[in-house]
Amino acid sequence: MTQKKSAKKVEVKKEKSPAAKKSVAKKSVVKKNLSAPEVSQEEILLQALRGMRDILPDEQPYWERVRRALSHAQQEYGFQRIDTPLVEFAHLFTRSVGTGTDIVDKEMYIFNTRGGDRVALRPEFTAGIARAFIQHGMSVLSKPVKLFSMGPVYRYDRPQEGRYREFYQANFDMFGESDPILDAQTIQLAYRVVQQLGLKNIEFQVNSIGTAESRKEYSKALVRFLESQKHKLCQNCRERLATNPMRVLDCKEDKCIQLTAQAPQSLDYLDQESREHFKRLLEYLDELDLPYAINTRLVRGLDYYTKTVFEIWSGDQEGKKYSLGGGGRYDGLIESLGGEATPAIGFGLGLDRVILEMKRTQVKPYELPKPRVFLAQLGDMAKKKSLRIFSDLEKSSILVAESFGRGSLKSQLRVANRLGVEITIIIGQKEALDETAIVKDMISGTQETVTQPKLVDAVKKILKSNAALGPVMPIVHTDDDEE
């Protein structure tokens, strides 16, 4: 009985105390919020990650010139486009590029997926292209199989001028032919691309590192020499000596460069086949009159290279050289990944480096085609008609500019003047009702009113007439004229 009475008293108290009811409601809300997962309020950093950046619109003309030159070379030399994933299994690069290389040991972005796969952002193109070649049975295609690829690659390297953690490469690869004439054609293709980009002071550095078997003897001789001078090497090269001694030859430290200038040369350890291959390559390069120099220190830092290796350099008047890319043969790569024995050769261009060099040498970027017609409108009905007219002109391959968001005719005509168009089409409320348009020839200063169905033909006629006259500056109208 006592318990029941007390319970009733509590109930009555709740009924008579709205404030208490409100307090309980608040407590329940608080309890509900406490049970919910906490939402992170981490501050958003409005900047790109270190070593990565935006390619802004004012830089795009340089990139467009590069893209067009690459596309032209791809078609001219018979390459087909291939796009491989940004993410691959990490062991693909470990096996092909090599565990003793900087790319695998220090620079790869490696992570585990939720499913437990160990994957990596691609640090280069060739391994992924070789994987695709095997996976899709491309060995049955007519030889050589020529593949072109382009896009971003990723390496966690120290950012500096021309070197980013996300950067862009273009690759040309040929599979199925071992003749050294393919080596020469590859170098010729690389030269053609950089020439089309306006880069002039170009030199190719070439070398041969032989087959994997002949390279063993060379590696032993190199290690013997370097071990005797180990105290003169930089710390990185002392580590490389145990894992990948040929990488010591690629070091950019002055003391290592001076030391390795006296080191054994790979050319002295070539097997007969590699020696003959290199000899014939040099004969082809002489025949093509390509600028090259033999660099016995050139090895390229990846394990899959065999025989021919080369790099593309641009120089300045002070003798400083800038690396733009490189490549070589990788005759054993396909077989090492589980495919049939397939000779191959290819090269890659660092597009960020190429564009930096274009800017340094003041190469003109691609000029976007300028609009020849401007479409101006005034009033809501005119806007509706303008959309259809814009579409009709565009379908006729007439490049049109407009400023639909501006209501003032004066401000629109100011834009037309700034663009230097040849024709300005004006549609106001009257023209919208009459299904007509005012066509103003900015070259001669004349204008006429035409019906909208005949508008495209009238514009074409004026453009054709202006083209026959040659380059003529449009009349620039003042603000008073526009009013």
pLDDT of residue 315: 85
pLDDT of residue 482: 44
152-164 pLDDT, tens digit per residue, is: 999 988 887 778 9
Mean pLDDT score across all residues of the chain: 86
Domains and CATH numbers, the chain: 57-211+271-360 (3.30.930.10), 373-482 (3.40.50.800)
pLDDT of residue 233: 87
pLDDT of residue 103: 61
Q: How confident is the model at residue 139 (pLDDT cuts 50, 70, 90)?
A: very high
Q: Are the CB atoms for 301 and 157 separated by under 8 Å? A: no
pLDDT of residue 5: 43
Residue range 428-448: mean pLDDT, rounded: 91
pLDDT of residue 299: 84
Q: How confident is the model at residue 102 (pLDDT cuts 50, 70, 90)?
A: low
Asked whether residue 1 carries a pLDDT value surpassing 60, the answer given is no
Residue range 451-459: mean pLDDT, rounded: 93
Q: Are the CB atoms for 153 and 167 separated by under 8 Å? A: yes
The CA distances from residue 456 to 226, 250, 426, in Å, are 76, 62, 14
Residues of the chain above pLDDT 90, percent: 57
Asked whether residue 301 carries a pLDDT value surpassing 80, the answer given is no
386-405 pLDDT, tens digit per residue, is: 999 999 999 999 999 988 87
What is the token pair recorded at 139? 């060995």
Q: How confident is the model at residue 458 (pLDDT cuts 50, 70, 90)?
A: very high
Asked whether residue 104 carries a pLDDT value surpassing 80, the answer given is no
Asked whether residue 231 carries a pLDDT value surpassing 70, the answer given is yes
Asked whether residue 38 carries a pLDDT value surpassing 80, the answer given is no
pLDDT of residue 36: 53
HEC letters along the chain: CHHHHHHHHHHHHHHHCHHHHHHHHHHHHHHHHHHCCCCCCCCCCCCCCCCCCCCCHHHHHHHHHHHHHHHHHHHHCCCEECCCCCEEEHHHHHHHHCCCCHHHHHHCCEEECCCCCEEEECCCCHHHHHHHHHHCCHHHCCCCEEEEEEEEEECCCCCECCECCEEEEEEEEEECCCCHHHHHHHHHHHHHHHHHCCCCCEEEEEEECCCHHHHHHHHHHHHHHHHHCHHHCCHHHHHHHHHCHHHHHHCCCHHHHHHHCCCCCHHHHCCHHHHHHHHHHHHHHHHHCCCEEECCCCCCCCCCCEEEEEEEEEECCCCCEEEEEEEEECCCHHHHCCCCCCCEEEEEEEHHHHHHHHHHCCCCCCCCCCCCEEEEECCHHHHHHHHHHHHHHHHCCCCEEECCCCCCHHHHHHHHHHHCCCEEEEECHHHHHHCEEEEEECCCCCEEEEEHHHHHHHHHHHHHHHHHHCCCCCCCCCHHHHC
Asked whether residue 24 carries a pLDDT value surpassing 50, the answer given is no
The CA distances from residue 305 to 10, 300, 326, in Å, are 87, 7, 11
Between residues 408 and 197, which one has the greater pLDDT? 197
Work out the end-to-end distance of the chain between its first and last CA atoms, rounded to an integer number of angstroms.
Answer: 96
Q: Which of 136-145, 189-198, 220-229 has the lowest mean pLDDT?
A: 220-229
Asked whether residue 477 carries a pLDDT value surpassing 70, the answer given is no
Q: How confident is the model at residue 100 (pLDDT cuts 50, 70, 90)?
A: low
Q: Which of 60-64, 109-113, 255-259 has the lowest mean pLDDT?
A: 255-259
Q: Are the CB atoms for 130 and 337 separated by under 8 Å? A: yes
Look at the pTM and tell me if it is higher than 0.85.
no
From edge to edge, which strands make up the β-sheet containing 145-154? 80-81, 145-154, 166-175, 344-350, 321-329, 306-315, 202-208, 292-294
238-269 pLDDT, tens digit per residue, is: 888 877 788 888 887 888 888 888 888 989 99
pLDDT of residue 362: 94
